[in-house]
Structure 1
């Protein structure tokens, strides 16, 4: 049995962890860590202490009305992508526990295309 790092839970909701495929379970935001536990397999869990998180990047659409998923980047173990039924409230609870500058908005599809064309143009100009 996995022991929780948190002593009290501030927010609990159903969620999905995107590893190789989607893993369904419960997302728990507590006083000491962000935790995800699988519904069926107990060995599929993630516990991320608040001091280990470097960035939380959210995909934001329609001016912040729709947030389908978010990504947590850590100092040691890399990237973890999650989606929850209540992503907005989950991110608000996370915001209370990490510094404001650690929350980021993911670039939009058009911003990624624009940056790609700029880089391609710079490459072409640099070769000539």
Structure 2
């Protein structure tokens, strides 16, 4: 039986976890101690990430729109989630882990642009 780490719930909503092969639909339970995700098909397949183990959490932001996908970086690895309320989730995370650990991740175009700059800069130095 899955036991929640939280004693108080700040947010509960639907979302998708991209851990493993394919996306798993389930529910987020965000509270005072951790960010938790419980799979709809099998509640025993859950992810619990205590606030103390989160190094960074971020999402793509273009203009004023926050992407529905967000990533959580911990010592154990990277977790990718999606939710229509990702902005609300990031605001709650900011309250628990601090403003400096909530970051803007580069968009696909920014990542491609950085890669092209590296390629052209390395050719100039040769």
Asked whether the two chains share a fold, i.e. TM above 0.5, the reply is: yes
2:103 maps to 1:96: no
- Paired residues, number: 125
RMSD: 1.3
Distance (Å, rounded) in 2 between the aligned partners of 1:83 and 1:55: 16
**Structure 2: segments with no counterpart, 5+ residues:** none
* Greater fraction strand: 2
Q: How does 1:10-25 map to 2 (within 5 A)?
A: 10-19=10-19, 20-25=21-26
Report the Cα offset of residue 90 of structure 1.
1.4
Query: Does 1:56 find its partner at 2:47?
Result: no
**Structure 1: where are the runs of 5+ without partners?**
none
Shift in Å, 1:108: 2.0
State whether residues 15 and 84 of structure 1, in contact with CA within 8 Å, keep that contact through their aligned partners in structure 2: yes
1: CA distance between counterparts of 2:113 and 2:50?
A: 36
Indicate whether 1:35 and 2:36 are aligned: yes
The answer on whether the counterparts of 2:12 and 2:27 sit within 8 Å (CA) in structure 1 is yes
Q: Which runs of 4+ in 1 moved over 2 A?
A: 64-67
Counterpart position of 1:113:
112
Match of 2:47 in 1: 46
TM-score (norm 2): 0.92
| 8 Å CA contact retained: 1:13, 1:85 | no
1:79 aligns with 2:78: yes
1:68 CA displacement = 1.4
